[in-house]
Amino acid sequence: MSNITGKKFYTGIGSRSTPPHILHLMAYIAHVMSKNGYTLRSGGADGADLAFEEGAGELKEIYLPWKGFNNSNSHLYSISDAAMHMASTLHPRWQYIPESVKKLMARNCYQILSEDLNTPSEVVVCWTPDGCTSSNTRTPKTGGTGQAIDLADRSGIPVYNLQNNSDIIKLLNILL
């Protein structure tokens, strides 16, 4: 399934503390997705994001909460009022979090729905310690990635969490 532009997108995200063997798997998945014409959407954070970015090569959209985040040179760092509003509807304690965290959460909306907030990724590949794949399985251990998983779930986008062996098997069967 491609969008109106004919491009294909997926979101590659996850915890900054993703285990090394999963980081290698993420880079491999990104490489295979790239070879199949898929553009990565990610967020430039340490851990999972950078592993996906490394494997994706040139086919990537890296959304940042602010210019130069994590020394990234991505030009996708402008956070719109619409993205902030969307993020506020997803975060249970929005009014209590610092502005910098709000920008991180708003950039997650772009990772799932693109800069126009209207072009969804076809799939989300991620890793969280609790194996979260939907709004219903989100826990405090899901961390910041949970907000993106929640948005994907609400948008009908399948989520494959590499913490779950069954998701790894399903994803590899699709890719290979």
Q: Tell me: the pLDDT tens digits for 108-130?
A: 999 999 999 999 999 999 999 99
| pLDDT digits 0-9 by tens, 10-51 | 999 999 999 999 999 999 999 999 999 999 999 999 999 999
Q: For residue 1, is pLDDT > 50?
A: no
Closest CA to 13 of 136, 164, 159, 140: 159
Q: Given a cut of 70, is residue 131 above it in pLDDT?
A: yes
Task: Look at residue 5 in the predicted model and tell me its pLDDT.
Answer: 58
* 3 state SS for the chain: CCCCCCCEEEEECCCCCCCHHHHHHHHHHHHHHHHCCEEEEECCCCCHHHHHHHHHCCCEEEECCCCCHHHCCCCECCCCHHHHHHHHHHCCCHHHCCHHHHHHHHHHHHHHHCCCCCCCCCCEEECCCCCCCCHHHCCHHHCCHHHHHHHHHHCCCCEEECCCHHHHHHHHHHHC
Give 59's contacts (C-beta < 8 A, 6+ positions apart). 33, 34, 37, 38, 39, 40
Percent of the chain with pLDDT over 90: 91
Is the separation of the CB atoms in 3 and 9 below 8 Å? yes
Q: Is 143 exposed, middle or buried (0-12, 13-18, 19+ CB in 10 A)?
A: middle
Nearest-angstrom CA–CA distance, 107 and 25: 24
Q: Is the pLDDT assigned to residue 3 strictly greater than 90?
A: no
